[in-house]
């Protein structure tokens, strides 16, 4: 009996040890899987696009060749919902104009019939899903950290903006909240008593490649005010649900179940006059009234509270075009049109000299297209913010990729726009392209604005008001939505 007890006890211990050993192996294996998963999630660093697929949508590129085609196009655009990629307002139907647009699956057969009957030559195929996938593939294989060669999620942007408060001379604050109660960030660089140059970005959600501005001045002569993302709700929506969303996320009930207002048609300057729509389902819906939206209200109130405003720059995509007022009317003309034209031309010439990229420039409505209720016209007008120099910069590209600009083009786009903003007193100082590129290289790999890195470009590590540090801060701040 004792032997049997010993035997069973011995076997029990063997079984227990075997079970414990196997359990340990399983736990080690699971731990390794968990560790790899954590590392992989950090390496990938972002979500996969799970929003609307555009494979069944109709995407068209064509050129209007006759006046009959132009008139017919204007008519059908009033009967079905068309998302115009170019012209961005969808209101300029003139002979010789190239139009690029998207229609929903349920309207595709109607549009196909219309194009065939009016003998439009369609020169494109629908590659939208592929372009979106290319954007999100850029998140894969990327290490943790803020990198200026890739696009970033809203969460990553907000985390980075909060961290900028640790930089000497930089103030991070909020001017209010969006429709969905997200913070509207404001970055101030330099002394508040100095003349101000104001920059805003991201007013149109889908324009990921839309925000770069740097000075031709030092931070000890100008106070820089930057609104990095005036439409955070819409931007988040482009990552999670609908890549080509343009408006904010305001409810239009009870008038309509369609969502959103085009914030850049919501300013009180010739509101609802031209290049806009009173239909809530339109991508260029100007809202129920001027300044009806919390985002445009917050921007307005903060701008009006400022003194000594020298310039206002608003960044968009795409077209490679620098626009000055007025876009709201063909008849309106800026009081300092010659000055605005000179500055815009100098910027365009500098871009060409830097990377060879071709940008155009001109007065809004005559040169680009009519669009009333825009932030640039309101900022320039004496009934608005009354800023002498007001420019809209439409960044890359000219239509090959449109709103889905490849990340491989970001660096050149940064460099050319940074160089353009060396324009000072309507002329260019000696070229600092190499300094700009060196500063960019310091920021781009790790997204760090560490003053210790300045020594290699000839700037003391304790300097906070030098041109070189100014470049570093501007690259890391102004380009945040762009990447």
- What CATH number does the domain containing 113 carry? 3.30.70.340
Kindly state whether residues 175 and 108 are assigned to the same domain: no
Is pLDDT above 90 for 403? Answer: no
The verdict on whether 295 is a catalytic residue reads no
Instruction: Give domain status of residue 131, yes or no.
Output: no
Question: What's the pLDDT band for 85 if we cut at 50, 70, 90?
Answer: confident
Instruction: Give domain status of residue 62, yes or no.
Output: yes
Instruction: Give domain status of residue 144, yes or no.
Output: yes
Kindly state whether residues 314 and 364 are assigned to the same domain: yes
Q: Which domain holds residue 86?
A: 58-126
Instruction: Give domain status of residue 51, yes or no.
Output: no
Query: What are 142's two structure tokens?
Result: 């990327």
| 77 vs 47 pLDDT, higher one | 77
Catalytic residue chosen out of the listed positions 61, 295, 394, 407: 394
Q: What does the pLDDT look like over 33-62, one tens digit per residue?
A: 222 232 233 333 455 666 778 788 888 888
- Structural domain count, the chain: 3
Instruction: Give domain status of residue 50, yes or no.
Output: no
Residue 143 vs residues 45, 140, 146, 164, 445: alpha-carbon distances, Å: 7, 9, 9, 20, 10
Q: What does the pLDDT look like over 458-475, one tens digit per residue?
A: 434 443 333 334 444 444
What angle in degrees, to the nearest 10, is found between the helix axes of 467-478 and 433-443? 50
pTM for this predicted structure: 0.71
What's the mean pLDDT when you consider all of the chain? 73
Is pLDDT above 70 for 168? Answer: yes
Kindly state whether residues 289 and 379 are assigned to the same domain: yes
Kindly state whether residues 331 and 448 are assigned to the same domain: yes
| 266 vs 1 pLDDT, higher one | 266
CA-CA distance, 376 to 374, in Å (whole number)? 6
Q: Exposed (0-12), middle (13-18) or buried (19+): which is 190, by Cβ within 10 Å?
A: buried
CB 73, CB 97: distance < 8 Å: no
Kindly state whether residues 5 and 116 are assigned to the same domain: no
């Amino acid at each position: 009996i004792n032997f049997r007890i010993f035997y069973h006890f011995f076997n029990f211990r063997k079984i227990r040890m075997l079970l414990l050993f196997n359990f340990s192996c399983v736990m080690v294996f699971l731990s390794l899987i968990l560790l790899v998963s954590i590392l992989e999630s950090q390496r990938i660093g972002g979500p996969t696009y799970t929003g609307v697929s555009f494979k069944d949508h109709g995407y068209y590129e064509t050129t209007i060749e006759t006046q009959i085609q132009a008139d017919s196009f204007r008519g059908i655009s009033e009967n079905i919902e068309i998302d115009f990629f170019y012209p961005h307002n969808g209101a300029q139907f003139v002979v010789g104009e190239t139009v690029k647009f998207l229609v929903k699956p349920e309207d595709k057969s109607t549009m196909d019939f219309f194009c065939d009957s009016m003998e439009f030559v369609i020169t494109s195929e629908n590659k939208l899903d592929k372009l979106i996938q290319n954007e999100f593939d850029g998140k894969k294989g990327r290490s943790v950290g803020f990198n200026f060669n890739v696009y970033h999620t809203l969460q990553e942007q907000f985390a980075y903006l909060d961290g900028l408060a640790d930089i000497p001379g930089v103030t991070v604050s909020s001017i209010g909240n969006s429709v969905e109660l997200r913070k509207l960030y404001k970055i101030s660089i330099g002394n508040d008593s100095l003349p101000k140059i104001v920059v805003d970005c991201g007013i149109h959600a889908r324009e990921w490649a839309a925000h770069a501005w740097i000075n031709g001045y030092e931070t000890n002569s100008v106070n820089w005010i930057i609104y990095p993302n005036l439409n955070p709700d819409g931007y988040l929506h482009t990552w999670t649900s609908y890549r080509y969303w343009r408006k904010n996320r305001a409810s239009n009930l009870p008038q309509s179940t369609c969502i959103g207002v085009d914030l850049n048609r919501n300013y009180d300057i010739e509101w609802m006059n031209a290049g806009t729509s009173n239909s809530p389902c339109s991508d260029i819906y100007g809202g129920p009234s001027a300044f009806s939206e919390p985002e445009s209200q917050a921007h307005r109130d903060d701008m009006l509270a400022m003194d000594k405003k020298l310039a206002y720059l608003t960044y968009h995509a795409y077209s490679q075009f620098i626009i000055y007022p007025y876009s709201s009317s063909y008849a309106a003309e800026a009081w300092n049109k010659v000055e605005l034209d000179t500055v815009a031309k100098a910027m365009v010439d500098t871009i060409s000299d830097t990377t060879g990229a071709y940008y155009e420039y001109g007065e809004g409505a005559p040169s680009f297209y009519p669009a009333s209720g825009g932030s640039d016209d309101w900022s320039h007008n004496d009934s608005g913010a009354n800023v002498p120099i007001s420019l809209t910069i439409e960044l890359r590209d000219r239509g090959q990729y449109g709103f889905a600009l490849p990340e491989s083009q970001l660096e050149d786009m940064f460099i050319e726009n940074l160089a353009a903003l060396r324009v000072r007193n309507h002329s260019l100082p000696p070229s600092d392209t190499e300094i700009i590129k060196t500063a960019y290289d310091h920021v781009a790999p790790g997204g760090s604005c560490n003053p210790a890195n300045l020594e290699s470009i000839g700037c003391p590590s304790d300097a906070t008001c030098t041109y070189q540090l100014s470049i570093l801060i501007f690259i890391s701040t102004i380009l945040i939505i762009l990447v």
